[in-house]
Amino acid sequence: MLYISSSCKRLLQQNNRGIDGMMFQIRTEENILALTKNRKRHKRDLIILTVFILIFYCICVYTLLDARGINYFMVPLLFVHLFFIPQMRDLIRVILHGEVLCFDKDKGEFLINSLCQKRIDEISGIEIYHRSGDDVDMTYLDIIYTDGTYYRLDQVSIYDNEDLVEAAKLIGGFLNVEVVERQHQKKWII
């Protein structure tokens, strides 16, 4: 489940907006500044983590080569194979190019993940569908990209519009959220 921040809850209460069938807009400097600070802090943490990983790797390689009596000039060549490790490639991509957005269905949160190698600024929107009926009760989410492709997430745990506000905040957009009810189907468009 996505958790909504207290600032978004306060904003909804102040605006006295309803939940079902209403359209609302979030454009607050407080949230935008908080999101920017979080991204900068997240990027800084990733850089620190990468440095520590490389230092630890150097110590391990140095110890191994020293024990085997191998020339230390071989050390730089051994770093090349780091780029063939998917997690390290993702980490480098995030640091150099920005965040990668993906949704972990088990944890119920957006993550950096190699399954969804798209930058946040390549996302044009997000659509969440909930179908309910006699035999059907399912929710799925489409992350739509600027090139027209989309990434579908099945069985997403989204229970109300407040979660959609948090989803919009996570993808960096503060856009209109529209709820459309049509034949036991709700469609949210962010």
Considering the chain, what percentage of its residues have pLDDT values greater than 90?
Answer: 0
Run of H or E including 127:
strand 123-132
- Render pLDDT for 116-142 as a digit per residue (tens, 0 to 9): 445 555 666 666 666 665 555 556 666
- Render pLDDT for 164-183 as a digit per residue (tens, 0 to 9): 445 544 544 433 333 333 34
Q: Region 93-114: what's the mean pLDDT?
A: 48
The SS3 call for residue 140 is strand
Return the top range by mean pLDDT from 13-17, 113-117, 147-151, 157-161: 147-151
Determine the pLDDT at residue 84.
Answer: 60
Determine the pLDDT at residue 107.
Answer: 54
Considering the chain, what percentage of its residues have pLDDT values greater than 70?
Answer: 9
Q: What is the mean pLDDT of the chain?
A: 53
The SS3 call for residue 77 is helix
Q: Between the CA of residue 48 and those of 18, 56, 158, what are the distances in Å? A: 43, 12, 33
Return the top range by mean pLDDT from 15-24, 112-121, 146-155: 146-155
* Whole-angstrom distance, CA of residue 164 vs CA of residue 127: 10
